[in-house]
């Protein structure tokens, strides 16, 4: 079963994303902070990480940097953010994220889009 780790400090978003992905047959593990997300990757690397950017403690970008420094260089880490600043998407992809998804999510297409970021 494909395992997705969702890292987000917003409990409602975490629940929505988890429900939508589980309905589509994904196994979902969730973390409310970047620190917790990093720890979960170390314990059991998922097939993909969905990463919020702004969280208390380390940011999603800092969590990505730690995950990469830990040697998880091919693990897809996709941003899931409400941020819509111009040029933000390109900047985040340049900084090493594998994909960019925007909140609010569209439950009808979300799981399929997530799956598209997982390398065969």
CB closer to Mg ion, 37 vs 46: 37
What's the closest the beta carbon of residue 120 comes to Mg ion, in angstroms? 31
CB closer to Mg ion, 9 vs 88: 9
What's the closest the beta carbon of residue 108 comes to Mg ion, in angstroms? 23
C-alpha 113/C-alpha 96 separation (Å) is: 19
The continuous run of DSSP H or E covering 95 comes out as: none
CB closer to Mg ion, 57 vs 71: 57
Binding site for Mg ion (CB under 5 A): 9, 52, 54-55
What's the closest the beta carbon of residue 100 comes to Mg ion, in angstroms? 15
């Amino acid at each position: 079963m494909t395992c997705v780790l969702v890292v987000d400090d917003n409990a409602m978003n975490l629940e929505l994303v988890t429900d939508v992905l589980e309905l589509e047959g994904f196994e979902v593990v969730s973390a409310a902070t970047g620190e917790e997300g990093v720890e979960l990757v170390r314990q059991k690397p998922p097939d993909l990480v969905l990463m919020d950017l702004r969280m208390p403690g380390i940011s999603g970008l800092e969590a990505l940097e730690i995950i990469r420094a830990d040697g998880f260089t091919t693990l897809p880490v996709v941003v899931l953010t409400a941020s819509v600043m111009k040029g933000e998407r390109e900047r985040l992809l340049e900084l090493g994220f594998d994909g960019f998804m925007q909140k609010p999510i569209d439950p009808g297409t979300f799981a399929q889009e997530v799956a598209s970021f997982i390398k065969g």
